[in-house]
Amino acid sequence: MRIISTVAAMQAQARRWQRAGVKIGFVPTMGYLHAGHLSLVRAARQRVGKTGVVVVSIYVNPTQFAPTEDLAKYPRDLKRDLKMCRAEGVDVVFTPSDGEMYPGRQNRQPATGNRQSFSTYVVEENLGRVMEGAARPTHFRGVTTVVAKLFNIVLPDVSVFGQKDFQQAAIIRRMAVDLNFPVEIIVAPTHREPDGLAMSSRNKYLDAEQRAQAVILFHALQAAKQAVTKKSVAAARLKKDLQTFITAAPVARLDYVEFFDPETLLPVAQVKRGTQMALAVYFGKTRLIDNAKL
């Protein structure tokens, strides 16, 4: 496994592969890897086969964090990540620095007055307005920008994203179509802990009490599924019921629960089988998200 940390070297390698007809599978991550990330690596490998290559990027992207968020605290363990990637048969890990990705941009501020500094962003203007986009207004701009950059650096034929971040995957898919990135976007299922909690690097922040109650997100999805198996239910009614349901976990604080069309992400008034549900719940300062098709 090769570790590449400069944009120039990664792009040069990707171009060599392209010229040789080697298929490139790509899994972008922020590191602190878990079994969910590894399931994306396997999906990428499956797509490109033995003759293809799998690239994993590990980069905690500052532009997708608001100043109030957990950028500095975001969990990191590169040594462990590299070990996991090696064991999974990853060909290249791309680990750029902030200076490589955003030259001239310092202390999270878009640098002004410096012609050499980073000042171009990619913005999806429709799907990113609701849910995570409403709660975290600059988040998706950072995600689309870094993923567009990574696509231009890694030149993937296939890139795999997790259903865990349903809205993110929808936005990336949209971006790839709208901006004609020649890449196939694959969305892989959410990997869960045995009790149902969706795996997430942020689960590390939870103390024992919060961790025990964090399964409420999964239980809320299950409860909603149950509620609509035989009949449709008004979204407002179901939201109220779930709010009460989540309050049963004393350290949980609901941020939002939404019911929407999985294609358009537009909210629905009536929830039925096949409606997509997403929710965000705070445990102290830690904010967890989950979603499912009901």
Q: Which residues bind ligand AMP (CB under 6 A)?
A: 29-30, 36-37, 39-40, 161-162, 164-165, 188, 190-191, 198-201
- Whether the CA torsion 215, 218, 224, 226 is positive or negative: it is negative
Residue 74 beta carbon to ligand AMP: minimum distance, rounded to whole angstroms: 9
Is the Cβ of residue 39 or residue 213 nearer to ligand AMP in the bound state?
A: 39
Our measurement of the distance from residue 241's CA atom to the centroid of its chain's CA atoms, rounded to an integer in Å, reads 28
Q: Which of 37, 139, 191, 219 is catalytic?
A: 37
Residue 186 beta carbon to ligand AMP: minimum distance, rounded to whole angstroms: 10
Contacts for 90 with CB less than 8 Å, ≥ 6 apart? 1, 41, 54, 55, 56
Our measurement of the distance from residue 290's CA atom to the centroid of its chain's CA atoms, rounded to an integer in Å, reads 11
Half-sphere exposure of 192 (CA within 13 A, CB side): 17
- Cα separation of 40 and 26, whole Å? 9
Our measurement of the distance from residue 136's CA atom to the centroid of its chain's CA atoms, rounded to an integer in Å, reads 14
Is the Cβ of residue 190 or residue 210 nearer to ligand AMP in the bound state?
A: 190
Contacts for 19 with CB less than 8 Å, ≥ 6 apart? none
- Go through 1-10 and write b for each residue having 16 or more CB atoms within 10 A of its CB, e for each that does not: eeebeebebb
Is the Cβ of residue 156 or residue 233 nearer to ligand AMP in the bound state?
A: 156
214 vs 12, 35, 137, 246, 249, CA distance in Å? 44, 18, 25, 10, 8
Residue 200 beta carbon to ligand AMP: minimum distance, rounded to whole angstroms: 5
Is the Cβ of residue 32 or residue 271 nearer to ligand AMP in the bound state?
A: 32
Residue 25 beta carbon to ligand AMP: minimum distance, rounded to whole angstroms: 13
Q: Between β-strands 184-188 and 158-162, what pairing exists: parallel, antiparallel or unpaired?
A: parallel
Is the Cβ of residue 200 or residue 213 nearer to ligand AMP in the bound state?
A: 200
Question: Which of 62, 54, 57 lies closest to 98 in space, CA to CA?
Answer: 62
Instruction: Tell me, yes or no, if 37 is annotated catalytic.
Output: yes
Residue 113 beta carbon to ligand AMP: minimum distance, rounded to whole angstroms: 32
Which residues form the catalytic set?
A: 37
